[in-house]
Structure 1
Amino acid sequence: MGKVFTITEGLENMGAIRTGGQGSVYKGRRQGEIISAVKLLPTPIHTEDEQDKNYRDFYNEVEKLKKVNEVPNPNVVKILSSGLTESGSFPFIEMEFIEGPDLEELLQAPNDPVFSIQELIKVASHLSNALAHCHNVGVKHGDIKSNNVKFNYYTGNYILLDFGLAIMSDEQRRTSLRHAGAVEFMAPEQNEGQMLFESDVYSFGVILYELVAGVVPFPLNDRGETARNKVMLSHMEAVPPDVMEIRKQNLPKSWSAERREIEMRVPAWLLDIISKCLKKDASLRFKNGVELHKSIVHNFTTEVGGSEAIARRNNELEKENRNLREKVLLLENRSVVEDNQSPRYYADPDKISISKPLYYVIMLCLFGLLGFAAYSVYNNNPATQNSQVFNSVDSSAVDSSGITDETQPRVKDNYDKEIRAMIDSVQRADSNADTLGANQEPQNNEEQQNPQTDEPNPRLDEEADNQNKRSKKYTLSATRAYFYDESNENSRRNNFLAKWNSPELTALDDKNGFIYVEFFTINGEITKGWLRKRDLRKIGE
C-alpha cells in the first residue's frame, strides 16, 4: 500500500497522507493543478460484476454517498469520484483536498489545550449541520472523530471528511471497527457492530466533550487490546467525568484571570446537549443529526436574541451618551471658537467695547456714587434732619437735664408712636418759638427756679444782647457733641448728641467757647445744656 502506483486514468498518485484500519488516504492530482484526497479501502475487488458481493455492496454505498453532494453543503467535503484503482483493484473515493488543520491538531501545542466558548459553539453548529445534511439523505458517517473534522483556511468553516466507512458493507464495517476503529469516539452499540444515526450523535458528543475539556471522556492510553477493551467497556458502563472540572484544570496558564473566569462560563444549554448525546441508551439521545442541529440552532438563537436585545439597548444608550457628550463639548468650545474668531471682526472707531465683567463693575460703582451723593444731600438738609426719627436722645434715658447717657441703650417700642411724638414735638417747637419773645421774663424766672451749674444770671442791661443770642439757631458740625455741666472742658458728661439725629439747637448763652442751648426731645420735652462751640455750626452757614 505504501508504494507509488497509478490510481486511475487522469488521477496521479502524489503519496500517502494517512493510513489506518479503514484504509489509506492519498494525495492525488488530476490533470492540471487540481489537488484532491483519495480514500483507498483495504479490501480489493477483482471483478466489476454485480454478481460479486463486495462490488455490489461498494456500488450501493457509493450511490448513497453521491446523494450527499446533490445539494452542496459548506460543512461536508465534496465527493469528486469513485472507482477501482488500475493496479490492485482497490476501491477508492476521491474527495476535495482541504487545506488546514484538523481538530486533533488544533488541540496540540502551540495551540491552546481547550477551545474558547465562541469556537466551541461554532464547531457545534458546523458539525451538527454536516450531520443533519448527511442523515437527511440517509447516509451514516460511522467514523466521526476529531481528526476527521478539518478547519478550512480559505473559508473559515469546519468540514466533515472521510466517508470511508460509509461505503463499506456491514461485515467489513464491523471487522474494521473491532480491530482498527477509534474506540475513544465509538458509541456503545458500535462495539456490537451496529451503526445507527444515534451512533454519529454519540461521536459528536465525544468531540464536543474533548473540545471543552481538552481530553476525551475515556482516553486510550496505549494501542494494546486490553486498553481498547477497557475504553469500550467504559463507554458502555462508566459515567463520563465532570467536563467543567477538567476544563478548569486544563485552562492555559497564560490566560489572564479575567479571561479564565469568562471561559468557564460555558452555556448550560451546550453542556446539556453534550450530556444528552453521551447517553448509553441510544433511544435517549437525539434521533439524528437533524434533530441535534435544530436543538443547537434554537438554543443559540434564543441566547443570541436576548444578548442582541441587550446589545441594541446598550448601543442606544451609548449613542445617546455620545450625543450628550458632543453637545456638552460644543457648549464648552463655543466660547473658545468665538474668541478665536473675534480678531476677524473690525472694531468701530466710534464705539468703545468693554468686557461684561468690567461693565458690571462700572455700573456698580456708578450706583454706589449716586447712592452716596443722595445720602449726603439728605443728611445736609436741615428740614430733613428735623424729620428723622432716631433714639440717641430719648426721654426714657435722659437724666435731670433730659440728655441720653452714652452707656444706656436706646429703646424703640413702637415705630408709629415715635413718629407721632416727633410730629408733636416739632409742632410744639414752632409754637414755643413764636411766643419766645413775649414770655422771655417768665422764662428767665423759670430758669432761676431750676438753676444749672454755672448757669448765667444776666442783668437787665444785657437783656437785649441775650435776646439776640437766643435767636441764633445751631446744629452739629462734629460727629458727636458731648454735654458739659459748666462752660469748661473739665465738666464733660457722658451724654452726647449725634450728628445724624441732632435736632435744631437754640442758643441761650455764649461763654468761654461754649454755647448754652435748648432743644426739644422726640417726646416734646425741652432740654438744655452746655456744648462746645467748635462742635456746632449756625444753620444757614
Structure 2
Amino acid sequence: MGKVFTITEGLENMGAIRTGGQGSVYKGRRLGEIISAVKLLPTPIHTEDKKDKNYRDFSNEVEKLKKVNEVPNPNVVKILSSGLTESGSFPFIEMEFIEGPDLEELLKAPNDPIFSIHELVKLANQLSNALAHCHKVGVKHGDIKSNNVKFNAFTGNYVLLDFGLAIMSDEERRTSLRRAGAIEFMAPEQSEGQMLFESDVYSFGVILYELLAGRVPFPLNDKGETARNKVMLSHMEAPVPDPLELRRRHIPKTWSPEKAESEMRVPVWVLAIIKRCLEKESESRFKNGVELHEAVVKGFTADLGNSEVAVKRSSQLEKENNELRDRLLILEGREISQEPVAPVAYTDPDKISLSKPLFYGLLLLLFGLIAYTAYSFYNSEPTEDRVKSIYPVDSVSVDSTELNSDPEIKANDDLDKRIRSSIDSVERAEAKKQDTTTNEPVEPVVTEPEPEQNNEPVPVPTENEPEPSQRPPKYTLSVTKAYFHDSPNESSRREAFLVKWNNAELTALDDKNGFIYVVFFNIQGQVTKGWLRKRDLRRIS
C-alpha cells in the first residue's frame, strides 16, 4: 500500500486501519521490519510551543500516558513514541501493532455469538488488570469498547488498545464523544463530557455484558442523531435487560445439550460484578480499576475453590483452545487442513520455561550429583557430624573431667588406667632393651606412681588381666555394626555402636562371658568405652 502522507522521519505510513471522529489509526513501519500502529488526532497543532494551549495539553497528556509503560503490562499496549506529523502537523501516538482479532470480530460469524464462561472469566481478569494498571498511574482510557480490546495471537493475552481520548483536551474529548463516540459503551456522565475512573468501569461492564449475552445492553440501531440520543437516554434511565435470558436466546445450535446447559450456569460473582459496573450513578460502581480487579480476582479464586467447577473448566480448556485456533485460521483466510497451528497459550511473565533438551540435561546433572554425594559419603573418612551420629549417647571428649556416679563404670575406668599403665611399662622396657643393644645412651624411665582414687574397694576383674610381659589381643569388626554394652551381658546394650568402615583396631582390655572390654578413640579425640560381643569381632593379633 502506498504512502498517504509522511508521519515522521523513520516512520512510514502503510495506510489506514480504521478511521473515526476521534481520529484515525494507521499501520506504520519503522526502518526495517518493525510494524506499529499510529493514532492520529483530528485537530492539527501548528506550533510546538508551550504557549500554544493545544500543544501544551497534548504534551501534558502524553507525559501522563508514558507512565503507563514505565512498568510493562501484558494486557496494555506499549506506547512507542509520540509527536506531530511532518505533513499536516497532526498529533500522533505510535503503539505496538497487535496481531490478532478484536472482540467485535470474535463475536461475528462464523464465530459463536457469545463467549464461553471460561473465556469470559479470562477476559474479565485480564481487562480489569489492564484498567488497574492504568488507573494506578492516573490515566483514564475513556474509550473502552469491543474493537479497542484485541486478542494477541502470539501470547494468548487480551490487550487494551487506543489511548487516543486519553491525550485529548477536555473540550476535544467532549466534542469527539458527542459526535462520534461509541455511544453503546459510554457511561451516563460521559454525555456531559465527564471522564472519570468510574466511566472506564462502566464500559468494562458493557463489554462483559456483551460477551455474556451476545449484545450490548442498549444497542444502536442506526447512526442517526435520534438513535444515538435514545441509547444515551437508556444508559441514564432504562433498566438493564436480563443478560441470562439474552444468553439463552444466543446459545449456538452447534453446541451439544450438555454444553449448552453447562454454559448457562454463570457464576454468581460474574453477574454481581456486571450489575455493579452498570449502575447509573458513578458513586455506586467500583471506584476504579484497582477495586474492580480485586473483586474479579476474589470471585475467580473462590470459584476455583469449587472442585466441580474447576474440573469442568479444566476439561473444557483444550477444546476451547482448539475452537479459538479455528477462529483465527478462518479470519486469516486459511483452510484449517492446510497448515497446523501451534496451540495458543498464555505465557506468565513471572514463570521460567525450559526447553526439553535443557530440562533433561539438568535432570541428568542432578542425578550425577546425587550419585557422587552418595559415593563420597560411603568412601570418605567420617566427619565430626557423622561420628556424632554414630555415637549419639555416650561419646565424650578426652579432656572431660565429668565423673560417672555408676560404680560399675567407675570400676571400668580404674581398670583402664591400671591396664594402660602396665602396657606403657612394657613398651618402655622393650624400647630400653632395643636402645641397649645399639649401645646408645638411654634416658632413665621414671614411672609416676598411680594416684589414689579413693578408699572404696573397686571391683577389678583379675581373671583375664594381661601380664606386663604379653600384649593384649587385638580385634576388628567382622559385622557391619557392633553395639557397645555397659556390662558383659546382652541385656545391657547401649545406643552407641561402631560400623565396619571405621577400620577400628580394638585392644581387648578384659575378656568375660563372650565379651571384651575396649576403649575406642575416634579421629576427633572422642572416646567411647564398653563391652563388645566377641562374635561380632575378628581377632587380628
Whether 1:174 aligns to 2:185 is: no
Whether 1:147 aligns to 2:147 is: yes
Separation (CA, whole Å) in 2 of partners of 1:139 and 1:63 = 10
Distance 1:7 1:259, change over 3 A: same
- 3-state SS in 2 of match to 1:134: helix
For 1:333-389, what per-residue CA distance to the aligned partner results, in whole angstroms no more than 9, with x for missing partners?
xxxxxxxxxxxxxxxxxxxxxxxxxxxxxxxxxxxxxxxxxxxxxxxxxxxxxxxxx
Aligned twin of 1:267: 267
Separation (CA, whole Å) in 1 of partners of 2:305 and 2:209 = 25
Aligned twin of 2:15: 15
Matches of residues 456-467 of structure 1 in structure 2 within 5 Å? none
Matches of residues 196-235 of structure 1 in structure 2 within 5 Å? 196-235=196-235
For 1:48-101, what per-residue CA distance to the aligned partner results, in whole angstroms no more than 9, with x for missing partners?
000000000000000000000000000000000000000000000000000000
Distance 1:308 1:79, change over 3 A: farther
Distance 1:310 1:56, change over 3 A: closer
Aligned twin of 1:257: 257
Whether 1:4 aligns to 2:18 is: no
Aligned twin of 1:29: 29
Separation (CA, whole Å) in 1 of partners of 2:123 and 2:310 = 25
- 3-state SS in 2 of match to 1:94: strand
Separation (CA, whole Å) in 2 of partners of 1:262 and 1:73 = 33
Whether 1:70 aligns to 2:77 is: no
Aligned twin of 2:123: 123
Separation (CA, whole Å) in 2 of partners of 1:238 and 1:102 = 28
Report deviation, 1:254. 1.0
Separation (CA, whole Å) in 1 of partners of 2:149 and 2:273 = 19
- 3-state SS in 2 of match to 1:221: coil
Separation (CA, whole Å) in 1 of partners of 2:214 and 2:3 = 36
Structure 1 residues without counterparts, runs of 5 or longer: 315-541
For 1:300-358, what per-residue CA distance to the aligned partner results, in whole angstroms no more than 9, with x for missing partners?
1111023289869x9xxxxxxxxxxxxxxxxxxxxxxxxxxxxxxxxxxxxxxxxxxxx
Counterpart residue identity of residue 138, structure 1: G
Structure 2 residues without counterparts, runs of 5 or longer: 315-541
Counterpart residue identity of residue 103, structure 1: L
- Confirm or deny: 8 A CA contact 2:101 2:150 kept in the other structure: yes
Distance 1:310 1:54, change over 3 A: closer
Separation (CA, whole Å) in 2 of partners of 1:265 and 1:33 = 46
Give the superposed CA RMSD. Answer: 1.8
Structure of larger gyration radius: 1
Distance 1:30 1:303, change over 3 A: same
- 3-state SS in 2 of match to 1:153: coil
Report deviation, 1:114. 0.3
Separation (CA, whole Å) in 1 of partners of 2:231 and 2:3 = 34
Distance 1:309 1:16, change over 3 A: closer
Separation (CA, whole Å) in 2 of partners of 1:307 and 1:185 = 35
Counterpart residue identity of residue 222, structure 1: D
Counterpart residue identity of residue 304, structure 1: L
Aligned twin of 2:164: 164
Separation (CA, whole Å) in 2 of partners of 1:163 and 1:211 = 22
Report deviation, 1:283. 0.3
Matches of residues 290-439 of structure 1 in structure 2 within 5 Å? 290-307=290-307
Percentage identity across aligned positions?
81
For 1:417-456, what per-residue CA distance to the aligned partner results, in whole angstroms no more than 9, with x for missing partners?
xxxxxxxxxxxxxxxxxxxxxxxxxxxxxxxxxxxxxxxx
- Confirm or deny: 8 A CA contact 2:303 2:309 kept in the other structure: no
Distance 1:210 1:311, change over 3 A: closer
Distance 1:247 1:293, change over 3 A: same
Counterpart residue identity of residue 157, structure 2: N
- Could you tell me the TM-score, scaled by structure 1's length? 0.57
Aligned twin of 2:113: 113
- Confirm or deny: 8 A CA contact 2:25 2:37 kept in the other structure: yes
- Confirm or deny: 8 A CA contact 2:218 2:231 kept in the other structure: yes
Aligned twin of 2:195: 195
For 1:488-519, what per-residue CA distance to the aligned partner results, in whole angstroms no more than 9, with x for missing partners?
xxxxxxxxxxxxxxxxxxxxxxxxxxxxxxxx
Distance 1:310 1:191, change over 3 A: closer
> Hey, which bits of structure 1, 4+ residues long, moved more than 3 A?
308-312
Separation (CA, whole Å) in 2 of partners of 1:305 and 1:5 = 56
Matches of residues 463-482 of structure 1 in structure 2 within 5 Å? none
Distance 1:171 1:262, change over 3 A: same
Distance 1:19 1:309, change over 3 A: closer
Separation (CA, whole Å) in 1 of partners of 2:244 and 2:105 = 22
Aligned twin of 2:247: 247
For 1:14-68, what per-residue CA distance to the aligned partner results, in whole angstroms no more than 9, with x for missing partners?
0000001110000000000000000000000000000000000000000000000
Report deviation, 1:185. 0.2
Separation (CA, whole Å) in 2 of partners of 1:147 and 1:310 = 30
Counterpart residue identity of residue 268, structure 1: V
Distance 1:285 1:310, change over 3 A: closer
- 3-state SS in 1 of match to 2:306: helix
Counterpart residue identity of residue 62, structure 1: V
Separation (CA, whole Å) in 1 of partners of 2:112 and 2:74 = 26
